[in-house]
A and B are shown apart, each in its own frame.
Chain A
């Protein structure tokens, strides 16, 4: 295959771990970060050689907090990207940045290094909520970073916000939305808090925990109201709701993330990073020791301890993924495209499930595309689970 692919680069470092976070990230000193970067570039050299002449369409530097590296290191990383890969003209090149690490950054240098899209982690415009989450920044620090990013030449910025936070009311959530929209970002990711096992929040809000001294989480109904109100409000502000948690001004949808839902190929570099290349899903080791010490060999990478997961997708796997990933997008799954890909009518595979959920008003078919209704999104896990085949 010679299709272009996405490139994901994982930076597993942060200043300090937020209480809700279950991503692969941890604090580390400057030397450790530098050593990691060298390893990362080594991996890039080795793995890029296996992809022949395929072009890179999008790049996403995520974490963790990639901005913790500073603009010099990021320039070094980007130079390596450009030297290892054939990056398409006009490629979307995103980087995550957390306020509180952004002050020392030169956004102008990031721009010159090639980064053209910035994703800022705000979460909330309420300082008390930020404190409870364990964020290292205030609303003011965020606003400063945002302004500096604009001044530095970023004309494509995403802001991450979260609903369902401790002590958050519908009104306070709407204030956050209002204030975010006033900044006119090109893209808004509105997530809801998920209390994951193994996080400090789990011992506060998890099953059977119950710490009465902490402000309660909004109940299910309020949380859903937050979601629906947000959708209405953002649509009114000119944003398109293009994926369950993502909103964008027309033309500013995140192409890198869309490719995940539409099952485009992507190569993940760095600790724990996941890849999909030629129908193989793989994931790098999550063990920093192994990652730092084991030698990279181009042809043996997927068979070495550096690769922690390796699944060759069957046709069944691919059909399932097409459904449960595609349904996340507002566009839904195209029936024609399904048939083109698999040589099977979508109804011959999923007819009864589609029928059942259409009757319950959770799925709809419009213009040859199947998608979740608004009510369907609320309970999408239940619907998607039924698209797994026996």
Chain B
């Protein structure tokens, strides 16, 4: 995983609640056995019409959303299926962070494991950012070490992230290698566990 410090760039706005992972990456694209190359299928059914042409009214197809690296979305983003293909496709498309009032639990974890930041801000802050992002020349900055979101128009907010995840992301560590250092504790638990549930 690449270490993350500061992200600066353009935001795309998706003002919808309860965007589910079936929409983020429809099931017909889950059959690949690689982690990469999912970006072209992101939001497929919303993004393209039956003939495979871009739908002009879909948020990400608007000219002002092209090239965005931060997505601002509504409540409960990423609900539904646990498919990690959802953050893979968002990341592959070019998003490095999603800002929303709330996230579904599994989706949030899946983002963190892939170096993509799920940032929860208050509904008011998210609405303000959605408006601000419509202004030409708008730029957002997400500062992970300082846990802040700022823009070039004077917006400022801070966000929460568990210190464990922050450390992991800032350093770009591989979680499994860290856990393997606890081998002794795992072994001890397995011995104790044999007594408790050896049935």
Chain B associates with chain A: no
* Residues of B participating in the A interface, judged by any CB pair closer than 8 Å: none
* Residues of A participating in the B interface, judged by any CB pair closer than 8 Å: none
